[in-house]
Amino acid sequence: MTKRILLIVGGGIAAYKALELTRALRKRGHAVRAILTRAGAEFVTPLSLASLTGDKVYQDLFNLTDESEMGHIELSRSADLVVVAPATADLMAKAAHGLAGDLASTTLLATDKPVLMAPAMNVRMWRHAATQRNLAQLKADGVGFVGPGEGEMACGEFGPGRMAEPEAIAQAIDAALGALDAARPLAGLSALVTSGPTHEPIDPVRYIANRSSGKQGHAIAGALAAAGARVTLVSGPVGIPAPSGVQLVSVETAREMLAAAERALPADIAVCAAAVADWRVASDAAQKIKKAGHAPEPLALVENPDILATLSRHPFRRPRLVIGFAAETENVVEYARAKLARKGCDWIVANDVSPGTGIMGGDSNTVHLITAGGEENWAAMPKGEVAQRLVSRIAAEFAGA
């Protein structure tokens, strides 16, 4: 499977090896996008890098055209792996201390992807206490390293500091990507998650809603993204941020949520965790309904679209795995099993939201996973752990598919 490599080329005579590394990565079928530092451009040209990557080379943090087309935040997160070769003492120091004065260092600070560095510098620079402190800090931060090797330097000195050979770096990249795949069992799959409540307007200031915080749905979206899935999170109004690595689509009503969910198809996985209002006012008032000394006219209600059933029975683009949620206050498992059959989905995650459980709006959950093959009763745990366990079950399902 094609992987996306973001290659940061630092300054130094070893920068020429970045060209051979790019060629090796392209032969492996990977897509390579390059950032060329100002110092790096003294040794290799943007044209040579662009010719080998088949893509634009990025250089300037404040290039308005680049920022409108591919901002440094998106650039830092659009790759599967960030590789710094050569990683100069300057780049290592900036990364270790969180500095962000140019495109390369800003990208390293902004990325949420694994980073692999191939150091290259004079032997005395490599052995300097400051460089060794920075190396230790970067390793503690989770940065991977390949090299440096030992040998004769361009300056005539001998010792550690030579940048690893391109093939050795490519092999280290293969290993890093392999570990990444093992940690991301849903890589290559797409997921749709609905979360939060919907607000169904009565008039411009009042609405019908459910008591959902979105915490469970958002946690599931984040766990799916961490497992490698491309996630679209369709969320009703909530007071929590979207997790990293997901595409957020904000909606208000059930009809808007259904439309957004259908636009997100096709998807391999759909998790309908939103607490969608079952009913809406047939005709919401254009102006605020005023008190007039007597009760207002009864509200005429109509049923909202059934998002879970619609996705489960979609004629052309049904997700391979559709998971619904059932929030009940009694007969939790019995009602959930009936819902599984009624909606046509594959799994139901059921929980007891009776007053006093603290589940609605709280940080913990106690769920029952209902499938055609049986029932799993999970102990009470934080909603983040529920999300991780559910995603593990999803990964196991696809691994056996």
What are the residue ranges of helices labelled H in 184-289? 215-226, 254-263
Q: At 108, is the pLDDT very low, low, confident or very high (cuts 50, 70, 90)?
A: very high
> In the prediction, which pLDDT does 329 show?
74
State residue 71's pLDDT score.
61
Q: Which of 183, 202, 230 is the last residue of a domain?
A: 183
Identify the bridge partners of residue 4 per DSSP, sorted by sequence position: 31
pLDDT attached to residue 3:
86
Q: What does the block give as tokens for 110?
A: 């902004």
Average pLDDT over residues 119-135: 93
205/174 same-domain check: no
235: β partners: 195, 250
**In the predicted model, is pLDDT for residue 70 greater than 60?**
no
Q: Are 281 and 254 in contact (CB under 8 A)?
A: no
Find the Cα–Cα–Cα–Cα dihedral 377, 382, 383, 385, rounded to 10°: -70
**How does strand 347-352 pair with strand 321-328?**
parallel
The enclosing domain of 219 has a CATH number of: 3.40.50.10300
Reported as a pLDDT band with limits 50, 70 and 90, residue 351 is: confident
pLDDT at 397 over 60: yes
pLDDT at 53 over 70: yes
User: In this predicted structure, what is the pLDDT of residue 145?
Assistant: 96
What is the dihedral sign for C-alpha 341, 262, 305, 237? positive
In this model, does residue 69 exceed pLDDT 60? no
d(CA 248, CA 74): 15
**The Cα angle at residue 184 between residues 178 and 187, in degrees rounded to 5:** 95
For the chain, percent of residues with pLDDT exceeding 70? 92
Q: Indicate if 167 and 226 belong to the same structural domain.
A: no
Question: What's the pLDDT band for 63 if we cut at 50, 70, 90?
Answer: low
Residue 179 sits in the same domain as residue 275: no
The alpha carbon dihedral of 371, 375, 376, 378 has a sign of positive
Q: Taking the model in full, what pTM does it have?
A: 0.65
Instruction: List the catalytic residue out of 130, 136, 154, 155.
Output: 155
Question: Does residue 26 sit in the same domain as residue 141?
Answer: yes
pLDDT above 90: residue 101: no
| Residues 218 and 87 placed together within one structural domain of the fold | no
pLDDT of residue 1: 63
Which range among 177-181, 187-191, 258-262 has the greatest average pLDDT? Answer: 258-262
The residue assigned the tokens 């047939």 is: 282
Q: Within this chain, do residues 167 and 223 fall inside the same structural domain, yes or no?
A: no
HSE-up of residue 43 (Cα within 13 Å, Cβ side): 17
In this structure, are 75 and 210 located in the same domain?
A: no
Q: Which residue has the higher pLDDT, 251 or 289?
A: 251
Q: Does residue 202 register a pLDDT over 80?
A: yes
Asked if 143 and 117 count as a contact pair (C-beta separation under 8 A), the reply is yes
Domain end call among 183, 202, 229: 183
Per-residue pLDDT at 45 exceeds 90: yes
Is residue 296 predicted with pLDDT exceeding 80? no
Residue 360 pLDDT? 61
What's the confidence (pLDDT) of residue 290? Answer: 84
User: Mean pLDDT lowest for which of 56-60, 84-88, 393-397?
Assistant: 56-60
Same domain for 333 and 199: yes
Query: Do 228 and 126 sit in the same domain of this protein?
Result: no
Residues 61 and 172 in one domain: yes
Residues 6 or more apart in contact with residue 104 via CB below 8 angstroms:
8, 10, 35, 37, 84, 91, 94
Question: Are residue 140 and residue 261 in the same domain, yes or no?
Answer: no
In this prediction, residue 358 has a pLDDT band, given cuts at 50, 70 and 90, of low
Is residue 64 predicted with pLDDT exceeding 60? no
At a CB cut-off of 8 Å and minimum separation 6, what does 313 contact? 344
pLDDT of residue 207 exceeding 60, the answer is yes
> By mean pLDDT, which of 116-120, 198-202, 325-329, 341-345 is the weakest?
325-329
Give the pLDDT of residue 359: 60
Q: Which residue has the higher pLDDT, 70 or 78?
A: 78
- Per the prediction, the chain carries an average pLDDT of 89
Return the pLDDT at 254: 96
Q: What is the number of structural domains in the chain? A: 2
Residues 171 and 197 in one domain: no
Torsion sign (Cα): 84, 90, 96, 99: negative
The yes-or-no answer on residue 155 being catalytic is yes
Domain CATH code at residue 73: 3.40.50.1950
Q: What number is the average pLDDT over the span 88-113?
A: 92
The confidence band for 331, taking pLDDT boundaries of 50, 70 and 90, is confident
Boundary residue ending a domain (183, 218, 253): 183
Residue 146 pLDDT > 90: yes
Position with higher pLDDT, 363 vs 238: 238
Tell me which residue of 129, 136, 137 sits closest to 99, measured CA to CA. 137
Domain with 280, as residue range(s), is 190-399
